[in-house]
Amino acid sequence: MIYVFFGTDREGIIKKTEGLMKSIFVKNPDLAYERFDTDNFDIGKLRDLSESQSLFGNKTAVILDQILEENQEVFESLSHLNASQNIFIIRENKILKPELKKLEKYTEKIEEINEKVGKKESFNIFTLGDAIGERNKKNAWVLYQKGIFSGLAPEQLFWTVVGQVRNMLTALKTKNAAESGLHPFVYGKAKGFLRNYKEKELIELSERLVVGYHKARRGEGEIETLLEKTLLSL
C-alpha cells in the first residue's frame, strides 16, 4: 500500500504523515519502522521490504523521504509496493506530471500540500522529553518529526532524549531532589515517570542510546535513524 504527500509545505506533509502513522499504530501496535532518504536509500532493501511478510501479522511502515529524483528505479517497483502488506509513505517537495501519473496507478492516496502564508508554530523541545517519560512512542515519534522540521539538529533532540533517561535513572537511585542534584520540578516529573519503566528497561534504553551514539560518531550509523528506531521501540 502506497501513500504520497508532496508540495512546498513540509510541516503540513509531516502532519499528514503523523495522522496516517497514528491510525496505522491503532491497528498495528507492533508496527516496525524504516526510513529512507538520499543518504541511506537502498533499492534492494526496499524491494525486500515489499516482499517481506511477518508470520505474526506485524507490518512495517516505510517512509521514502525525497528520494524519487535521484532514484528513478523506485517507479519500477511501484506495483510490488502497492501489493505489499507493508505501508510505504512517499514524501516529496515536487513531483513532475509524468511521475505523478505513474504514481496514481498504484497509490492508495496522493495529496499535494502547499505552504500557506502565516506564522509557523514554534517547537517546544521539552515536550519530547515528556513523551519519553510517558513512554508514548506515537507522541514521541510525532514530536521528533516536528523538531526536525522546525530546524533543530538531530543531535540536539538526541541529547534531550538522553537527558530525560538520565533524569529518570537519577530519580530511581536517589531519595529526593536535594540528593539527586536535579531541580525539584525536574526531579518530581522524573520520579513520576518511573511508573512507566522497569529499572532494567531504563538501563537498556540508556545503553542503546550511548552505544548507538558512539557508532554514529564512527560512521557506523546515523543519529537520526537511531533516534527514530529508539522512539518507536519504547
- Residue 5 pLDDT more than 60? yes
Alpha helices (H) in the chain, listed in sequence order: 10-27, 43-51, 78-83, 97-104, 126-134, 137-149, 154-173, 177-180, 184-193, 199-217, 223-231
Residue 117 has a pLDDT of 65
CATH 1.20.272.10 spans which residues of the chain? 126-231
Residue 140 grid cell: 514521541
Residue 118 has a pLDDT of 58
Residue 54 has a pLDDT of 56
**33 vs 112: which has the higher pLDDT:** 112
Longest Cα–Cα distance of the chain, Å, equals 65
- Residue 66 pLDDT more than 80? yes
Q: Which residue from 68, 231, 212 is spatially nearest to 146, judged by alpha carbons?
A: 231
State pTM to two decimals.
0.58
Residue 74 has a pLDDT of 93
Residue 123 has a pLDDT of 79
Average pLDDT score over the chain: 87
The fraction of the chain above a pLDDT of 90, given in percent, is 41
The CB density around residue 229, as the number of other CB atoms within 10 Å, is 16
Burial of 163 from C-beta contacts in 10 A (0-12 / 13-18 / 19+): middle
Average pLDDT over residues 123-127: 85
The CB density around residue 104, as the number of other CB atoms within 10 Å, is 10
Place of cell 526496499: 46
For domain 126-231, give the fold: Zinc Finger, Delta Prime; domain 3 (1.20.272)
Residue 143 grid cell: 514530536
- Residue 11 pLDDT more than 80? no
For residue range 82-94, list pLDDT tens digits in order: 999 899 999 998 9
Burial of 218 from C-beta contacts in 10 A (0-12 / 13-18 / 19+): exposed
Confidence of residue 157 (pLDDT cuts 50, 70, 90): very high
28-63 b/e with 16+ CB inside 10 Å = b? eeebbbbbbeeeebeeeebbebbeeeeeeeebbbbb
Alpha-carbon distance 48 to 50, whole Å? 5
CATH 3.40.50.300 spans which residues of the chain? 2-112
Q: Which residue from 174, 208, 209 is spatially nearest to 194, judged by alpha carbons?
A: 174
Confidence of residue 168 (pLDDT cuts 50, 70, 90): very high
| DSSP-assigned letter for residue 223 | H
- Residue 119 pLDDT more than 60? no
Q: Could you report how far apart the first and last alpha carbons of the chain are, in Å?
A: 26
Task: Indicate the class that CATH gives domain 2-112.
Answer: alpha beta
